[in-house]
A and B are shown apart, each in its own frame.
Chain A
Amino acid sequence: MNYKILIVDDSPLLRATARRAVLQAGVPAALVREARNGQEALDALATDPADVVLLDINMPVMDGFQFVEHKAKLPALAKVKVALVTTEGNKKRLERMTELGVTHYLRKPFEPEDLRTLVAELFGAKG
């Protein structure tokens, strides 16, 4: 699975958990990058777009909502799929994220298998 993945979460613990799930899904380690907030994610995507972004919402500097709003204005990132991995559960906010192009959502707390399933679905949906 030669997909480029960007894991965006301010928690090093969650980044490690997500990285493990992605590697177990068969993505080479060299194709997995990490960012600690939305701004770092935008910077990383500007130099090398990813296929999939696993995105937390509650982060310092630039949160996940702001990241998605910025990304939606950047045509170069239109093909980058975004999956929310977050404690967020507000229906209106999630609907807004869907309107802006977010395709998948996994609410914390999740079991490791849930994340592996999400990654598999993202690869299946990647076209």
Chain B
Amino acid sequence: MSTITAEDFQQTAANALERMAFVFTEPAEETVGETLAQCTTHAKIEITGDQHSAWVVVSASRGFLAEVAASMMGVEQEEIDVDEHAEATVHELANVLGGELVMAMGGAETPLRLSLPATLDDTGVSEHIDAVAAGCGWTTVLKADSGFLLLACCWR
């Protein structure tokens, strides 16, 4: 688990976003605080196993969520009601990226369980970011034309 770096997972996430929604991202120069100020919807997913456990928090801005939802549903971005689709979109992002982390943790051979995604409010996200800052994992920020995606990962 300690070999999964923020840079590795950043690339994994970028590849996943490209595959699932044709959303092209690059590492962002913005800080976690700057990004979080623009993110409106957040979800957490947990991974449990006999040897390791982990969680991933996914936060996204409205524009980013609109781009992902529109692409997956095959409609124009302007046709997406972000308020209606934001939570489902961030949950699916958490589900897919959590699944990618499971595989990176050796989930193909090791029985690891992925929880259902759970919505976090702003306070909940801040608490998880604080936990990462205390040393349990890493954060990384991806940027697309439409907005930002913040990922925070922690394991024990």
- Chain A residues near B16 (CB, 8 Å)? 109
Closest to B84 in A: A12
Q: Is the CB of B116 within 8 A of A20?
A: no
A109 & B20 in contact (Cβ 8 Å cutoff): yes
A111 and B19: CB pair below 8 A?
yes
- How far, in angstroms, from A86 to B85 measured CA to CA in the complex? 20
Q: With A and B bound together, what is the CA distance between A101 and B111 in angstroms?
A: 21
Min CB gap B14→A, angstroms? 11
* A58 vs B48: C-alpha distance when bound (angstroms): 14
CB pair B74–A108 under 8 Å, yes or no, is no
Q: Is the CB of B72 within 8 A of A16?
A: yes
Q: Does B69 contact A (CB under 8 A)?
A: yes
- One digit per residue, 1 when the CB lies within 8 angstroms of any chain B CB and 0 when it does not, for chain A 84-102 equals 0011111111000000000
- What residues of chain A lie closer than 8 Å to B103, measured between beta carbons? 89
Contact yes or no, B107 A58, CB < 8 A: no
Question: What does DSSP make chain B's interface, helix, strand, loop or mixed?
Answer: helix
Cα distance, A86 to B102, chains bound together (Å):
13
Q: Which of A92, A108, A110 contacts B95 (CB 8 A)?
A: A108
CB-defined contacts of A59 to chain B, threshold 8 Å = 116
Contact of A76 with B by CB under 8 A:
no
The answer on a CB contact under 8 Å between A16 and B19 is no
Q: Which residues of A contact B89 (CB under 8 A)?
A: 13
**Alpha-carbon gap, A107 to B98, bound state (A):** 13
Closest to A91 in B: B108
Assess whether B107 is in contact with A90, with CB atoms less than 8 Å apart. yes
Contact in complex: B95, A89 (CB < 8 Å): no
> Is the Cβ of B72 less than 8 Å from the Cβ of A60?
no
A103 CB–B CB distance under 8 Å:
no
Contact partners of B110 in chain A: CB under 8 A? 90
**When A and B form their complex, which 3 residue pairs have the shortest distance between CB atoms, in order from nearest?**
A87-B99, A109-B20, A109-B19
